[in-house]
Amino acid sequence: MTAQVDYLAVVFTATSGASGELLGSDEKELGQLVWQLVDVKNKKLGRVNELLIKPDLSDLTEEKGEEDVVEESVEEENGSGAECVYTATSLESALNLFHLQLTNEVNSVGTGTSVCLCTDGQLHIRQVIHPQAASKNILVPDCFYSFFDLRKEFKEHFPTSDLKALNVHFMVDSLNIPVEVPAMWATLDPSAILPAEIAVCHVQIMSSIILGLLSEPYCHMFSHSERVSEKFETGTCSKMEKVCDNTVIRARGLPWQSSDQDIARFFRGLNIAKGGAALCLNAQGRRNGEALVRFVSEEHRDLALQRHKHHMGNRYIEVYKATGEDFLKIAGGTSNEVALFLSREDQIIVRMRGLPFTATHEQVLAFFSPGEDLKETCPVSGGKEGILFVRYPDGRPTGDAFVLFACEEHAQCALRKHKEILGKRYIELFKSTAAEVQQVLNRYSSAPLIPVAPAPLVSVLPTVSLLPPPGGVRDCLRLRGLPYTASIEDILTFLGEFTHDIRPHGVHMVLNQQGRPSGDCFIQMTSAERALQASQRLHKHVMSSQRGANSRYVEVFPCSAEEMGLVLMGGSLSHTHTHTHTRSRCGTGLSPPPCLSPPSYSFTPAPPVLPAEAAAALYPPIGQVLLAPRPLPPGHAYYPNTAQLYMNYTAYYPSPPGSPTTIGFFPSPSSLSSPGGLVRMPGLTYNSNGVKDLINAVQGYQYAPEDVIVHTPGPMHAHDPARTLLTQPKEWVCI
């Protein structure tokens, strides 16, 4: 509105609760509406009207309702000082009656047609009329969507005045307008109910201020009115956009099924920025009951904070300050694909969850097509262009998709297909928002597929190949396909005469991540020849278990100590083996241990904490660390306390090494030529006996007691001490 209006309707509201600067903060019902018409051109005042809202709590009959309508048009006199008094029984009837009486009064004057409301501050329209109408799903008359704030109009001529501290008393004094102020006005309690005569007096003083501004020397023009947004506009937000910290709030306690339109309805009367309602998701991609809301100005943000613990349905909503950075983390996006998908405005978004990974655009379109017996239609807006599949960075589908619909009717029809079947899976459907689309896409496209780990230990080691060198001595056996109830005694029975060729403590059962048998076992033999003979004679023979009735044939392959160590460290051997002693590297059938992250995501290189020469001396080949632990020569350096030690063990854990009970333990020679190894023992118990327990755990290995070092305490597997020797990295033991 740029031209001077013909009439101003000075409006003042009072609730059954707090007044003044606390008006509307306690969700109390509107009880009084007072207004007076001001002829701007002729500088004349109309009559003072008062509308009282008195809800009838009794059960209304149809006849009683008709009597109420008649009563609303009756003019009365009372002690408040108003010339005309009306009564209504509900907020909806009161607003309609106000609009009707105002229109009739303007038409009766006949000198103009344009009229706009004028209030003392923002609270009467933004914090009383619109929030209460929204909570009751009442359609507000058009006249309540634009108004003049008398304080802002006054500030144009008195720019040094504080807008928040302005009141009618200050304005009257500044304009030198003689008015009579009731004595009780000075002792009013803002938290108490406002007397009816004060509201009428307030309107009369405001009308006098307007006439003062219209007169010389101010000659004020009422041309730029405040606007109340009628509808929340969806839109996108770029991560590069600057968002003021003083315009964002965080709402907490939202119902999980609430949408951005529900949030806009809760903050009705306040202007939310385009695309400014962003629902937050938890780690599982589901709504967590929080939302970040961005308003057009700090003034509207401050008014939103006054709605702290107001109700949305039966739930109260907490409202707190937030920052622009918080909002951009949730609603900001950089994907051109998402921006193109969301560029179609006035579209309803529906989220599909649980899609088959092979789902196509055609299947989604067919899913929303009407069935043979159904007359309802829910066509996807734009066909294939109205469907957005969510994918991982490597292009794999996540099972989520977003679909656009042209109108609310089509969207509601689509939501009725919730948990219907597509392929062999039922599909969950939810009404979604543009901010949720950005958030889901950001989460899947920008983060690694697995959580980022600390700097790996491998970065401080010399660069070595994880594959064993070709041509290694294949003096070990790998048994695959064991019964899950098989014990070491069952394995020894299966080996028969080859039992005497097993090295001391040379039986290694492989356990999975849950500590259960994986069906694999490694056996160290005394020579490569005996290992080859055992594999040729026992391959695919049947093994029975004493603890179970099941029996299975077992595959037996020869392998090297390096291959065995690789598997026990988390690598794997392929299922294709050939019974040859020497193979090229490409034909070893080996795969390296699991990567710390996908190839497209590499960790930031960490500076080495040890020189390459020292690390090479400290870390012998994998097979020596696992299978032949030796004491460290004196003088080796150790990691400082600040070093970050990490290695990924995700595939298998070795069981405690076992030996045939009929052979016993044969001590190793005292003179050892190979270097020692560093073995990690995670999970130490807090109530353990320290070094004594560690020595018992590594019984059978060569070590020096002074070389046992406890780095930091942690829980230990009491019944499986050797499992702690080679599992997840937490603590270290130097042997």
Backbone region of residue 664 per phi and psi (left: phi > 0; alpha: psi in -120 to 50; beta: other values):
left
- Domain count for the chain: 4
Q: Is residue 579 part of a domain?
A: no
3-state secondary structure 579-608: CCCCCCHHHCCEECCCCCCCCCCCCCCCCC
Q: What is the pLDDT of residues 191-212, one digit of tens each?
A: 777 888 889 999 999 999 999 9
Is 642 within a domain?
A: no
Q: How many CA atoms lie within 13 A of 501 on its CB side?
A: 19
pLDDT of residue 681: 63
Q: What is the DSSP letter of 555?
A: E
Rounded to whole angstroms, the Cα distance separating 130 from 106 reads: 24
- First vs last C-alpha separation in the chain: 85
Q: Please check whether residues 356 and 263 belong to one and the same domain.
A: no
In a domain, 215, yes or no: yes
List, in order, residues 6 or more apart from 31 with CB less than 8 Å away. Answer: 14, 15, 16, 52, 53
For residue 516, the model assigns a pLDDT of 78
Task: Report pLDDT for 700.
Answer: 53
Tell me which of 682 and 379 has the higher pLDDT: 379
- Residue 347 has a pLDDT of 82
pLDDT class of 220 with cuts at 50, 70, 90? very high
Q: State the pLDDT at residue 270.
A: 96
Per-residue model confidence (pLDDT) at position 31: 92
Overall average pLDDT of the 618-623 stretch: 48
Q: Which residue has the higher pLDDT, 534 or 572?
A: 534
From CA 166, how far away is CA 175, in angstroms rounded? 13
3-state secondary structure 448-487: CCCCCCCCCHHHHCCCCCCCCCCCCCCCEEEEECCCCCCC
Tell me which residue has tokens 């090494």: 657
Q: Which domain holds residue 309?
A: 237-333
What's the pTM value of the predicted model, to 2 decimals? 0.58
**Co-location of 208 and 75 in the same domain:** yes
Judged on CB neighbours under 10 Å (0-12, 13-18, 19+), 657 is buried
Q: Could you say which DSSP state residue 64 is in?
A: H
Q: Is the pLDDT of residue 11 over 90?
A: yes
What percent of the chain clears pLDDT 90, i.e. is strictly above it? Answer: 38
Going by C-beta distance under 8 Å and a sequence separation of 6 or more, which residues neighbour residue 146? 1, 116, 117, 225, 226, 227, 228
Residue 91 structure tokens: 């907020």
Most confident of 46-50, 75-79, 502-506, 565-569: 46-50
Question: 249-294 pLDDT, tens per residue?
Answer: 999 999 988 888 899 999 999 999 988 999 888 877 788 899 999 9
Q: 430 near 353, Cβ under 8 Å?
A: yes
Place of tokens 């000198």: 111
Residue 600 neighbours by CB distance under 10 Å: 9
What is the model's pLDDT at position 549?
64
Same domain, 368 and 415: yes
Which pLDDT belongs to residue 55? 75
Same domain, yes or no: 375 and 433: yes
CATH number at residue 429: 3.30.70.330
- Work out the angle at residue 84's Cα, subtended by the Cα atoms of residues 82 and 87, and round it to the nearest 5 degrees: 105
Dist. CA 386–CA 344, nearest whole Å? 9
- Residue 484 counted as domain residue: yes
In a domain, 298, yes or no: yes
Can you give the pLDDT at residue 285? 75
Determine the Cα–Cα distance for residues 377 and 612; give it in Å rounded to an integer: 69
Q: Look at residues 103, 115, 105, 97 and name the one whose alpha carbon lies nearest to residue 51.
A: 97
Torsion angle of C-alpha atoms 443, 449, 451, 453, degrees rounded to 10: -130
Tell whether 16 and 49 lie within a shared domain: yes
Together in a domain, 343 and 313: no
Is residue 675 included in any domain, yes or no?
no
Both 276 and 216 in a single domain? no
Please state the rounded mean pLDDT for residues 394-398.
87
Domain boundary among 569, 594, 610: 569
Same domain? For 175 and 84 the reply is yes
Are 500 and 514 in contact by the 8 Å Cβ rule? The answer is no
pLDDT tens-digit series, residues 62-97: 444 444 443 444 444 456 778 899 999 999 999 999
* Whole-angstrom distance, CA of residue 50 vs CA of residue 64: 23
pLDDT of residue 613: 57
Q: Which one of 227, 251, 269 terminates a domain?
A: 227
pLDDT of residue 1: 56
Q: Are residues 325 and 348 in the same domain?
A: no
Q: Is the pLDDT of residue 576 over 70?
A: no
Among 445, 467, 485, the domain-final residue is: 445
- DSSP line for 623-645: HHHHHS--PPPTT-----TT---
| pLDDT band with cut points at 50, 70 and 90 for residue 506 | confident
Q: Are both 40 and 20 inside the same structural domain? A: yes
More confident residue, 373 or 94: 94
**Could you tell me if 223 and 251 lie in one domain?**
no
Number of Cβ atoms within 10 Å of the Cβ of 171: 24
- Confidence (pLDDT) at 641: 39
Cβ–Cβ under 8 Å, residues 350 and 259? no
Task: Give 245-261 pLDDT, tens digit per residue.
Answer: 999 999 999 998 888 88
One domain, residues 248 and 329: yes
Going from the C-alpha of 572 to that of each of 562, 563, 586, the distances in angstroms are 12, 9, 15
Whether omega before 608 lies within 30 degrees of 0, making that bond cis, reads no
Q: For the ranges 217-221, 428-432, 443-447, 679-683, which has the lowest average pLDDT?
A: 679-683
Which is more confident, 652 or 125? 125
Contact predicate 366/427, CB 8 Å: no
Cα–Cα distance, 138 to 98 (Å, whole number): 14
Above 60 in pLDDT, residue 302?
yes
625 falls in which pLDDT band (50, 70, 90)? very low
User: What pLDDT does 720 receive?
Assistant: 44
Residue 491 forms part of a structural domain: yes
- Alpha-carbon distances, residue 131 vs 228, 241, 250, 620 (angstroms): 12, 30, 18, 73
Q: Are the CB atoms for 236 and 97 separated by under 8 Å? A: no
**Average pLDDT, whole number, for the chain?**
76
How large is the average pLDDT for residues 663-668? 39
Distance of CA 314 to the CA centre of its chain: 24
639 is a domain residue: no
